[in-house]
Amino acid sequence: PAHRLDGIPPTIFTQMSALALRTGAVNLGQGFPDVDGPASSRARVARAVEEGANQYAPGTGVPALRRAVAEHQRRHYGIDLDPDTQVCATTGATEGIAAALLGLVDPGDEVVVLEPYYDSYVAMIQMAGGVRRPVTLRAPDYRLDVAELRAAVTARTRFVLLNSPHNPTGTVLGPEELQAVADVAIEHDLVVITDEVYEHLVYDDAVHTPISTLPGMAERTLSLSSVGKSWSFTGWKVGWATGPSYLVEAVLNAKQWLTFTSGSPLQPAVAQALDEEADFPLALARDLQGRRDLLCEGLGAAGLPARVPQGTYFASVDVEHLGWEDSTAFCRALPERAGVVAIPLRGFYPDSDAGRHLVRFAFCKTVQVIEDGLARLAAAD
């Protein structure tokens, strides 16, 4: 394998889902729902295929999707976008991340990024030749330390790669944290790349505010999201990049050599979901909040007290008190001990020891699956 992949292990999600299949364990690991998104959107895919949406779509995405994304940003956040120059469809947010980093980062450029890292950030910053500058979110409350953020910036820093709501901690950055990031970005003339795939999955009184809506930020922010989480279609792999045209163009420049275009029949269906199933994410979030509470209460009762997250699909537990060497050892043993798969967060913290004993459980599963998993955890020794 090429040296640009040195030190990057196979994605933990694939490893752990394979382990769940092999052992018959309840999979509370990889974040995907076990109930699909709206039937009307699924039917729209079938219709698109029948109607002949079977050849290459435009590289930026079909016009209906770009318009629906612009309308989504306007409706929820009051953001004004030109669908022709400020929106680009991507093959999931994963391609958005890859294309943004490959299209913008030069070798040696530093990227300030919140640790724990969603795993593709590490791989793609490295493949782009960038250097990550960590700002660590620590248990138990996983808040952004503004002093640490400021200390992470050097003369070579050019980007902040943000993720809020944050996977895996569930942190939703609040107004002061976002303002601190914006202040630093403006002061040091940084571009912010923000991964907002969990934008609608926030709970209690948490509010997701896109950093691009802060004063002075629209012109320096590239926003990434996708249909996967908000509409329960993780397998569709349709996402979008939005922002000023010079940043969207950089995404397109790289994307044209990665996938050229994204899947044709899915794009009109995603447009339909954004337009006609606009309320789906809200109802999903209400429902997920209940499942979050079910999971967190059950984990507590099983001797695995979880931090109750403000957003995302995930709750994390510190297992140090149980005497395990680290969370990877804990998770490797868990299928046999309890018949459950969870995700070790040690690997999400490659630049510090802060994740050594953290384990992530997903609550984007049916009540029945969560209850089954919890019963197994409670019965384990």
Residue numbers of the site for ligand GLN (CB under 6 A)?
A: 11, 13, 30-31, 167
Please give the DSSP secondary-structure letter assigned to residue 214.
Answer: S
Binding ligand PMP (rule: CB under 6 A), the pick from 226, 232, 242, 310 is 226
The residue from 115, 119, 177, 195 that contacts ligand PMP (CB under 6 A) is 195
Per the listing, tokens 């609550």 go with 363
| Residue 223 binding: pick among ligand GLN, ligand PMP, none (C-beta 5-8 Å cut-off by kind) | none
* Residue number of the CB atom closest to ligand PMP: 92
Would you count residue 223 as binding ligand PMP (CB under 6 A)?
no
Q: Is residue 262 at the binding interface for ligand PMP, with CB under 6 A as the rule?
A: no
Question: Using only C-alpha atoms, what is the Rg of the chain?
Answer: 20
Query: Which stretch in 132-140, 209-217, 231-239, 280-288 sits in contact with ligand PMP by CB under 6 A?
Result: 231-239
Considering only residues 136, 221, 234, 310, which one is a binding residue for ligand PMP as defined by CB under 6 A? 234
Contact pattern from residue 114 through residue 153 relative to ligand PMP, giving x for each residue in contact according to CB under 6 A and a dash for the rest:
----x-----------------------------------
Rounded to a whole number of angstroms, the minimum distance from the CB of residue 108 to ligand GLN is: 28
Least distance CB 340 / ligand GLN (angstroms): 15
**Does residue 228 bind ligand PMP (CB under 6 A)?**
yes
Alpha helices in the chain (DSSP H): 12-23, 39-51, 63-77, 92-104, 119-127, 146-152, 175-187, 227-230, 245-258, 266-276, 280-301, 327-338, 367-379
Where is 307: in which H helix or E strand? Answer: strand 306-307
DSSP state of 106: P
Q: Report the residue number, 118 or 324, with the smaller CB distance to ligand PMP.
A: 118
Q: In the bound complex, what is the minimum distance in angstroms from residue 239's beta carbon to ligand GLN? A: 12
- Closest CB to ligand GLN among residues 31, 309: 31
CB of 13 to ligand GLN, least distance (A): 3
User: In the bound complex, what is the minimum distance in angstroms from residue 261's beta carbon to ligand PMP?
Assistant: 16
CB of 31 to ligand GLN, least distance (A): 3
> What three-state secondary structure class fits 222?
strand
For residues 255 and 334, give the distance between their C-alpha atoms in angstroms, rounded to a whole number.
39
Residue 67 binding partner per list ligand GLN, ligand PMP, none, with a CB distance cut-off of 5 to 8 Å that depends on partner kind: none
Task: Supply the minimum distance, in Å, between the C-beta of residue 316 and ligand GLN.
Answer: 12
Which residue number has the CB closest to ligand GLN? Answer: 31
Q: Which is nearer to ligand GLN, 31 or 263 (CB)?
A: 31
**What strands lie across the sheet with 157-163, from one edge to the other?**
87-90, 239-242, 221-226, 191-195, 157-163, 110-115, 131-136
Nearest-angstrom CA–CA distance, 191 and 30: 30
195 binds, options ligand GLN, ligand PMP, none, Cβ within 5 to 8 A by partner type? ligand PMP
**Nearest in space to 9 (alpha carbons), one of 347, 328, 345, 329:** 347
Closest CB 189 distance from ligand PMP, rounded Å = 26
Q: What angle do CA 98, 102, 108 make, to 5 degrees?
A: 125
Q: Decide: is 163 part of the binding site for ligand PMP (CB under 6 A).
A: yes
Cα separation, 46 vs 49, in Å, equals: 5
Look at residue 13 and give the partner it binds from ligand GLN, ligand PMP, none, a contact being a CB closer than 5 to 8 Å depending on partner kind. Answer: ligand GLN
Residue 245: partners with Cβ closer than 8 Å, 6 or more residues away: 82, 85, 86
3-class DSSP string for 339-369: CEECEECHHHCCCCCCCCCEEEEECCCCHHH
Contact 296, 347 (CB under 8 A): no
In sequence order, the 6+-apart residues with CB closer than 8 A to the CB of 244 are 86, 218, 219, 220, 221, 222
246 binds, among ligand GLN, ligand PMP, none (CB under 5 to 8 A by kind): none
* Residue ranges that bind ligand PMP, judged by CB under 6 A: 31, 92-94, 118, 163, 167, 195, 197, 226, 228, 234, 237, 239
